[in-house]
Amino acid sequence: MPEHLAISFPHMGGYSIVFTQLMSHLFPTARVFPAPPMTQKTVELGSRHSPDFVCSPFKYNLGNYIEALEQGANVLFQTGMGCRYGYYGELQEQILRDLGYKFQFLCLSRERAQPMALCRSIRELGCTLPLSQMLSALLLACESIRAMDRYEYWMRESMGFEVAPGSCEAVREQLFEAIARADSLQDLQRAKSRCKQATEAIRTNKPPNPLRVGIVGELYTLMEPSSNFFVEQQLVRESISVSRAMGIWFLLFGKNHRQALKNSGPYLWHTVGANGVDSVSQSFAYAQRGYDGIIHMKSFGCIPELNATPALMNLSRDWNIPILHLSFDSHTSETGVQTRLEAFADMIRMKREEDGVANSQFGRGHRFGVHQGRSGG
């Protein structure tokens, strides 16, 4: 066990703030810091030392670990389940050891993610807090995640219509800073109230029926914006209202596999691994709610999302809703993604206009529900 703990972990969206908050409460004397910000160098480092065929979350995380170790980290965290990611930790640890780094690796996957095993790992790392304080820290972290996810959900839907550019982002930064400093649920409650007031003060000129796009797909690609070239921000610049249900709160407390399968309607009969079922059930909901388009994002080689793709294609055909499939890895061209997004935005805009003409000619309800039969998937 290192004498002075320097704890670090990979990035995934803004959640590193909450993980820093949690670890700082559990290990008050430790130096806790997220891996350095994602850059091209991070991706290059991770890719250089990863098996070529492995999916990009592995490569991004490995790049994060290397940069964190270079900054003096001596304890690294890894967690993940639901697909082969649950088996990546051992391989990442071995690669880092082969590179000559000395560190402790806490891999909280599979059975090690069970509450008792988790508690044991934290204790073994030197946490001496009573159980009640550990639980308080955990509760604060969960509530922080809920506050972040709620605000970001609203922000994605509204940011494309803000009157003063940057006002949504400014409130987000304030909220995140307050979460990083929060020591108790009372602190968090005060931060949420300030955020609510600031949100109400943001002026938007959102039309009653804006263009709406739903985002579904592989969780890491969805939640780590640098891994998808900030797709959501690009859509927002096109004045599109963006919806994405996937977030850590959803994964921890909202995910219900059986319900998702049921909500996939005629498009899935069986599970397809990881979050593939969620991609289908959420897409089905977007289609039923009359969204203008869906973007399906995944890492190159992601089997669960590949499995979900035929069901999504059937859904696209039946509901006449365009779905843009984007696959990312370390070789993906940012310009290529931008061009496809611009074309997609133009296409759904034109389709909206054409459907408007068709609806006025044939009456409303012409657009959806062409075929409701079981299409397979």
Interface residues toward ligand SF4, by CB under 6 A: 55, 57, 83-85, 218, 220, 274, 299, 302-304
C-alpha 358/C-alpha 364 separation (Å) is: 9
Instruction: Name the residue nearer to ligand SF4 (CB basis): 14 or 57.
Output: 57
Nearest Cα residue to 159 out of 240, 230, 95: 240
Minimum CB distance to ligand SF4, residue 84 (Å): 5
Instruction: Name the residue nearer to ligand SF4 (CB basis): 84 or 112.
Output: 84
Instruction: Name the residue nearer to ligand SF4 (CB basis): 143 or 224.
Output: 224
Minimum CB distance to ligand SF4, residue 286 (Å): 20
Instruction: Name the residue nearer to ligand SF4 (CB basis): 21 or 299.
Output: 299
- CB hemisphere CA count around 65 (13 angstroms): 31
Between CA 17 and CA 22, with CA 20 as vertex, the angle to 5 degrees is 110
Nearest Cα residue to 356 out of 292, 298, 307: 292
Burial 215-244 (b: 16+ CB within 10 A, else e): bbbbbbbbbbbebbbebbebbbebbbbbbb
Minimum CB distance to ligand SF4, residue 86 (Å): 9
Instruction: Name the residue nearer to ligand SF4 (CB basis): 24 or 275.
Output: 275
Minimum CB distance to ligand SF4, residue 55 (Å): 3
C-alpha 164/C-alpha 91 separation (Å) is: 47
What is the phi/psi pair of residue 100, to 5°? 100, 5
**50 and 58 Cβ atoms separated by less than 8 Å:** yes
Cα separations in angstroms, 35 against 3, 71, 189, 357: 21, 8, 28, 52
Instruction: Name the residue nearer to ligand SF4 (CB basis): 88 or 319.
Output: 88
Minimum CB distance to ligand SF4, residue 337 (Å): 17
Instruction: Name the residue nearer to ligand SF4 (CB basis): 167 or 282.
Output: 282
Nearest residue to the partner ligand SF4, using Cβ: 302
Cα separations in angstroms, 338 against 99, 223, 235, 237, 344: 36, 18, 10, 12, 10
Instruction: Name the residue nearer to ligand SF4 (CB basis): 80 or 160.
Output: 80
The identity of residue 176, as a single letter, is F
Instruction: Name the residue nearer to ligand SF4 (CB basis): 218 or 292.
Output: 218
Token readout for 16 is: 């590193």
**156 and 242 Cβ atoms separated by less than 8 Å:** yes
Q: How far is CA 119 from the centre of its chain?
A: 26
Q: How far is CA 231 from the centre of its chain?
A: 12
**86 and 41 Cβ atoms separated by less than 8 Å:** no
Minimum CB distance to ligand SF4, residue 166 (Å): 32
Minimum CB distance to ligand SF4, residue 276 (Å): 8
Minimum CB distance to ligand SF4, residue 326 (Å): 13
Minimum CB distance to ligand SF4, residue 13 (Å): 14
The runs of H, that is alpha helices, within 49-114 are 56-70, 88-98
